[in-house]
Structure 1
Amino acid sequence: MSTPIPRYFGLLRLAFDQALNAILAEVGPLHPELRPAHVQLFRFGGIDGSHTAELAVHAGMTKQSMHELITHLERHGYLVREPDPADTRARLVRLTPAGRKLEQQISHAIAKVLDTWEQDLGTERFDQLWETLQQLTGGTTPIPDRSRIRLTELG
Structure 2
Amino acid sequence: MSSVRTGRRLGLLRVALDQALDAVLAGVGPAHPALRRAHLLLFRFDGIEGSTTAELAVHAGMTKQSMHELVVHLERHGYLGRGPDAADTRARPLHLTPAGRALERDVHRAIAAVLEGWRDRVGQVRFDALWETLQELTGERGPLPDVAEIGTRRHR
Measure, in 2, the Cα distance between the counterparts of 1:62 and 1:149.
28
Equivalent residues of 2:83, 2:93 under 8 A apart: yes
What's the offset of the Cα at 1:75? 0.6
Secondary structure of residue in 2 paired with 1:44 = coil
Measure, in 1, the Cα distance between the counterparts of 2:51 and 2:61.
15
Q: Which runs of 5+ in 2 are unaligned?
A: none
What's the offset of the Cα at 1:29? 1.2
Give the aligned partner of residue 58 of structure 2: 57
What's the offset of the Cα at 1:109? 0.4
Give the aligned partner of residue 138 of structure 1: 139
State the AA in 1 paired with 2:103.
Answer: L
Query: Where do 1:107-146 residues align within 5 Å?
Result: 107-146=108-147
Give the aligned partner of residue 95 of structure 2: 94
Query: Where do 1:15-94 residues align within 5 Å?
Result: 15-94=16-95
Deviations 1:115-136 (A, max 9, x none): 0111111100000000011111
Secondary structure of residue in 1 paired with 2:89 = strand
Measure, in 2, the Cα distance between the counterparts of 1:57 and 1:134.
19
Which TM-score applies when normalising by structure 1?
A: 0.93
Secondary structure of residue in 1 paired with 2:29 = helix
What's the offset of the Cα at 1:148? 2.1
Measure, in 1, the Cα distance between the counterparts of 2:39 and 2:142.
22
Secondary structure of residue in 1 paired with 2:5 = coil
Q: Alignment length, in residue pairs?
A: 153
Q: Which runs of 5+ in 1 are unaligned?
A: none
Q: Identify which range, 36-45 or 124-133, moves more after superposition.
A: 36-45
Equivalent residues of 2:85, 2:92 under 8 A apart: yes
Deviations 1:68-109 (A, max 9, x none): 111110110001000111100111011011101100100000
Measure, in 2, the Cα distance between the counterparts of 1:150 and 1:13.
24
- Runs of 4+ with deviation above 6 angstroms: none
* Structure with greater proportional strand content: 1
Measure, in 2, the Cα distance between the counterparts of 1:141 and 1:31.
31
Equivalent residues of 2:108, 2:150 under 8 A apart: yes
What's the offset of the Cα at 1:150? 3.7
Query: Where do 1:4-15 residues align within 5 Å?
Result: 4-15=5-16
| Identity across matched positions, percent | 63
